[in-house]
Amino acid sequence: MVKRDVTVTEVALRDGSHAIGHSYTIDQVQKVAKALDEANVPYIEVSHGDGLGGSSLQYGRSKTNEMELISAAVSVCKQARVGVLLLPGIGTVEELKEAENLGARLARIATHVTEADVSKQHIQLAKELGMETVGFLMMAHMVPTEKLVEQAKLMECYGADTVYIVDSAGALLPHEVKERVKALKNQLKVNIGFHAHNNLSLAMANTLVAIEEGATWVDGSVRCLGAGAGNTQTEVLVSVLDRMNRSTGIDLYKMMDLAEEIVAPILEKPQEITKGSLILGYAGVYSSFLLHAERAAHKFNVDSRDILVELGKRRVVGGQEDMIVDVASELAKKSI
């Protein structure tokens, strides 16, 4: 039994799907999952970037059916547990049952930070199926800490084993992460998790603050392969935590090799903080909006930054991708 002070979930095979246009192949997933398993990563999330059922015109079509990708990952994992993300309203209970039947053992049920009540059915079903279950409160920067605690308690009472603060936009500052994690740690009995995005170059700092305040589950994406500017870079996180004498149980050298030799060739371009990803964090907008906004900007001949700032002003959240085109169209008309 591997001793872990901090449990890391690798999200590149889900969150990273956004960065490559949901184009993962079975071969790519098997190679990445096998290497992660050999590096002793405990949990590997695999699904469309927007979770089960996300393959659509609105969110982006998957090159390969996600159930085939889940099955492919399960087939090569000897110790790692494969997890899936589900957003109620996008994914269904039937898709969750299918994923579990294929071997998924971790269910991460995600809602907007004010809508935890819609997760009840899915969290309870995941528990009935015997899955380890996470409540995933997205866009956590959009509400006061008191509201976050209220919503987290709902997920806890539905049966979630862990509740995550999810900085979907990469907009939280370290003192805001500290306040939120500390509040959840004081008022919940379940594990506290933290999911970061690097749009303001704060993913690592925020993840470390979360751990220092008592979060024991955190997410990483190898080679920063995630939406926007990516997530906390897994291989770097493992090395930093090792320097801090905090055990993850993950083999650092194998993670380095995986990042360099297997994941880097998958990336269409290196993950960095571009003006597009930076504006996501600045505007406080869902990280998966970037590619959609850039396409809309090209179509309507407007600046993608103006689209994202306006979406932030309107407090648009994940699941409202149709608003991106509407805003781009409105901006184009105003410029005439």
Active-site residue flag, 18: yes
d(CA 194, CA 213): 11
Helix axis angle for 304-313 and 275-283, nearest 10°, is: 10
Cα torsion through 240, 246, 250, 256, rounded to 10: 10
**Count of other CB atoms within 10 angstroms of residue 259:** 20
d(CA 144, CA 146): 5
Query: Does 306 appear as a known binding residue?
Result: no
Helix axis angle for 120-128 and 93-101, nearest 10°, is: 20
Query: 191 and 216 in contact (C-beta within 8 Å)?
Result: yes
Helix (H) or strand (E) holding 190: none
Query: Does 326 appear as a known binding residue?
Result: no
Which of 23, 136, 128, 120 is CA-nearest to residue 84? 136
d(CA 68, CA 150): 37
Which of 61, 6, 63, 36 is CA-nearest to residue 223? 36
Catalytic residue among 18, 48, 122, 292: 18
Residues for the chain: how many in total? 336
Query: 82 and 61 in contact (C-beta within 8 Å)?
Result: no
Query: Does 298 appear as a known binding residue?
Result: no
**Token pair of 49 as six digits:** 């970037």
Which of 215, 222, 206 is CA-nearest to residue 267? 222
Query: Does 168 appear as a known binding residue?
Result: yes
Query: Does 288 appear as a known binding residue?
Result: no
Query: Does 4 appear as a known binding residue?
Result: no
Instruction: Detail the residues annotated as belonging to a binding site.
Output: 14-15, 168, 195, 197, 286
Instruction: Detail the residues annotated as belonging to a binding site for substrate.
Output: 14-15, 168, 195, 286
Which residues are tagged catalytic?
Answer: 18
Instruction: Detail the residues annotated as belonging to a binding site for Mn(2+).
Output: 15, 195, 197
